[in-house]
């Protein structure tokens, strides 16, 4: 997104509140959202304008609307859909081809594969009475991974760690410090 496009978005978002755009506010929003696709930002602005708000929207409000639009655009599945995909694939391959289950699930639902990374053998060797417990554990892991993805989507694009692999906190902090230092050089 270019700076003039960002100004269009901000004018749209702040028009309802009758607030003039300040140079500082534009700089903060530019720092946060310069890597975002303009069409995606337009959709997020429309989502944000449709919300009940008290006072001027903050960059965090726009980031949350942007994360929701991105999630809808990617067609995020629910934990129940992920569980169904896992059980179909696990029962198709069975206990004797257990090493093929996660790669097959990764192609269909990467998030479900990450949630079941450690529970495949337990699922296939468990009694029928243990399945609700395994399903509940899957749900907790799946929802935790979804929450992490939502948090990452709220971050500025240039600071986001890659979603599929886990990143170290030190890498994230180093990226933030590097971005801030580069921002000061450009200012």
Please write the tens of the pLDDT for every residue from 88-113.
999 899 888 888 988 998 888 888 88
Query: What was the pLDDT predicted at 175?
Result: 54
pLDDT of 52 > 80? The answer is no
pTM of the complete model beyond 0.95: no
Residue 92's alpha-carbon distances to 20, 43, 137, in angstroms, are 60, 40, 22
Query: What was the pLDDT predicted at 183?
Result: 58
Is 6 in the same domain as 68? yes
Query: pLDDT category, 170, cuts 50, 70, 90?
Result: very low
Give the domain extent around 49: 1-74
Is 29 in the same domain as 10? yes
Is 98 in the same domain as 116? yes
Domain boundary among 45, 74, 103: 74
Mean of pLDDT values over 128-137: 91
Q: Is-contact 30 3, C-beta < 8 A? A: yes
Is 3 in the same domain as 33? yes
Residue 32's alpha-carbon distances to 6, 99, 107, 109, 135, in angstroms, are 11, 42, 32, 30, 38
Q: Is-contact 45 64, C-beta < 8 A? A: no
């Amino acid at each position: 997104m270019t700076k003039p496009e960002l100004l269009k978005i901000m004018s749209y978002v702040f028009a309802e509140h009758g607030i003039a755009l300040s140079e500082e506010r534009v700089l903060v929003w530019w720092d946060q959202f310069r890597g975002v696709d303009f069409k995606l930002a337009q959709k997020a602005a429309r989502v944000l304008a449709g919300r009940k708000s008290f006072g001027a929207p903050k960059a965090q409000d726009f980031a949350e609307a942007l994360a929701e639009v991105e999630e809808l655009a990617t067609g995020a599945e629910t934990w129940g859909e992920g569980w169904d995909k896992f059980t179909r694939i696990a029962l198709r391959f069975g206990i004797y081809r257990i090493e093929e289950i996660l790669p097959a699930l990764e192609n269909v639902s990467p998030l479900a594969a990450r949630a079941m990374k450690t529970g495949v053998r337990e699922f296939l060797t468990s009694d029928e009475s243990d399945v609700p417990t395994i399903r509940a554990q899957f749900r907790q892991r799946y929802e935790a991974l979804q929450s992490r993805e939502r948090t990452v989507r709220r971050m500025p694009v240039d600071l986001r760690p890659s979603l599929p692999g886990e990143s170290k906190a030190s890498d994230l902090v180093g990226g933030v410090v590097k971005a801030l230092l580069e921002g000061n050089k450009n200012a």
